[in-house]
Structures are given as structure tokens and as C-alpha cells.
Amino acid sequence: MPTGLLIAAHGSDVEPDVNQQIRQLTVQIAAAGLFHEVVCAFHRGEPGFADAVSTMTAQMIVVVPLMTSQGYYADTVLPEALARAKRFSHVRIHQTSVVGRHPRVAELVRERYCDLVERFGFDQGATALVLVGHGTPKHPESRASTLGCVEALKTLGVAADVLPAFLEDEPRVESVARSLARRDAVVIPFLIGRGVHASVDIAQRFGMNALAFGEPPPVLQEVGGGRVALDLPIGCQPAIMSVVVDLASETVGRVRKARA
């Protein structure tokens, strides 16, 4: 049975680079030839989730939420939008968990931390790793993926301290930054797109001067007697492609096994 892959992202209708990043990922996965067709869609941007399903020709569509949190958008907005597709009753749709819950993501973060520690000459035994999620008190699961990744990283023993921080939940980025005064830290946004949250908000809340960035992250600045290295969001890392493919392939395999 021809199988299509729909990459479902939150996206942005005011920051075109965010959606372009997802489109580039879609092209890369399509080029691998693993699926009958590969399409991306956005909550904010075009095409929308329902419109994308309506234009696909595959009889089975695997939907991978390119999101870090299993929260409101993945659990409510996306399924409701898919159900409005004109082809909904004529196609088999299987939604996977969000990319942020995949075990490979913790390894991805570990690799980035080690790369940045080496690049900037940090002492790994004394350098904290801060994983910054979006979070929201409006949905109980919004912080779960971030906290789960933090616990996995602690188990790996990758850093002196592995700390969660949130833009819209507790502990806030600002409070975590204050707790790390005079210490070196690697800050990795547990986000998908390189939008304002990742490129400006996190930097400012850590006391960094985002306007002084002469190049895109990763960037290094001295803050409060310590040094802060701010990386790109995990969704910008090339390895995220393998996470999307794994989630889709696992679901296809499970469905085919159940029907055998």
C-alpha cells in the first residue's frame, strides 16, 4: 500500500525562515525515497494540515508532529484539523508521537553539548547543560518531553549539571540563569524553529546581548562572570531527519505487522 509521510509543524505566519526550514527538511526526506510522497504542513502557514492531507494521493498517511511537546497542538489541534480533510474518510491516517519524545533526541542533545564544550574550550566537568523548553501551564504534558530528556541526559552522565528551563513555565529561564551565576553553561533550545523564542528570547533572558550576535548560533558570550554558549534549536540539527524517519518507519512497520 502506498504510504505518505506528512510532517506536521506549528510553523509561523510572521517568520518565513521557520517554515522554510521545515520545507528543506521535507525535501531531504523525500530525496531518500523511503515513502511514496512526503509533504509538510503547518498550523501557522501554508498548507494547513487538512489541506495537505486532501492533496496527498497515498492510501495510508503517517503523520509525524515535528514538535517537541506532546501538548495541546499535538493532542488536540492537529487531530481535529486532520479530521476536517476532504479525504479523511477515504485514507488511513496514523499519527506518531512528537519528535521530542523520541529516545534519539537525548543522544542528539548529548552530542551537541560535547561538541560545544570542545569548540569553546569549556571544562566538561564543571559546565552545566541547560535544556530550554517552551512549556505552558495550560497543558499538563507541555513540560513532560523536556523533563524526560533532562532525566535521560542525567542518566547518560553527560554534564556536571543538567537543568530544565522554560519560557512560559517553571522554572523560568531567568531563574535558572541566576542560579548559574559565574559558571559556564551550554544552553540548547528544546524547540523546533529558529524563531524569536530561540534567537532572541532565550538569549535576553540569560543576560546575553542578542543584538551583538555577529553570526547565527552557536554563539558565546560572557555573562555574570561566567560564559554562556547558546546553540541552535534541536529542530535545526541535521540529525532530526533520522528522528522523523524513525518515527514514521516504526509506525508503518507496526501497522503492517498488525495486518499480517
- Give the pLDDT of residue 82: 96
Mean pLDDT of 166-186: 94
The strand pairing partners of 39, in sequence order, are 6
- Give the pLDDT of residue 258: 84
Per-residue cell: 157: 552522565
CATH number for the domain formed by residue range(s) 101-236: 3.40.50.1400
pLDDT digits (tens, 9 = 90+) for 199-253: 788 999 999 987 777 778 899 999 988 999 999 999 999 999 999 999 999 999 9
Q: Is 60 exposed, middle or buried (0-12, 13-18, 19+ CB in 10 A)?
A: middle
User: Has residue 196 got a pLDDT over 80?
Assistant: no
pLDDT bucket at 189, cuts 50 / 70 / 90: very high
Mean pLDDT of 7-20: 92
- Give the pLDDT of residue 136: 83
- Give the pLDDT of residue 83: 95
- Give the pLDDT of residue 15: 85
Contacts of 134 (CB under 8 A, 6+ apart): 68, 69, 142, 166, 167, 168, 190, 191, 197
Mean pLDDT of 20-40: 97
Q: To 5 degrees, how large is the angle CA 201–CA 206–CA 208? A: 85
Contacts of 243 (CB under 8 A, 6+ apart): 99, 102, 104, 105, 108
**Listed residue (1, 17, 5) closest to 259, CA to CA:** 1
Of the two residues 194 and 179, the one the predictor is more confident about is 179
Domains 3-100+238-259 and 101-236 share a fold: yes
Whole-prediction pTM value? 0.93
pLDDT bucket at 84, cuts 50 / 70 / 90: very high
Could you count the other beta carbons within 10 Å of the beta carbon of residue 242? 13
User: Has residue 121 got a pLDDT over 90?
Assistant: yes
- Give the pLDDT of residue 241: 97
User: Has residue 162 got a pLDDT over 90?
Assistant: yes
The alpha-helical segments, DSSP class H, found in 77-159 are 78-82, 104-119, 144-156
Q: Give me the residue spans of the domains in the chain.
A: 3-100+238-259, 101-236
User: Has residue 140 got a pLDDT over 80?
Assistant: no
Of the options 3.10.129.10, 3.40.50.1400, 3.40.50.720, 3.40.50.2000, the CATH number for the domain spanning 3-100+238-259: 3.40.50.1400
Question: What does pLDDT average to over the chain?
Answer: 93
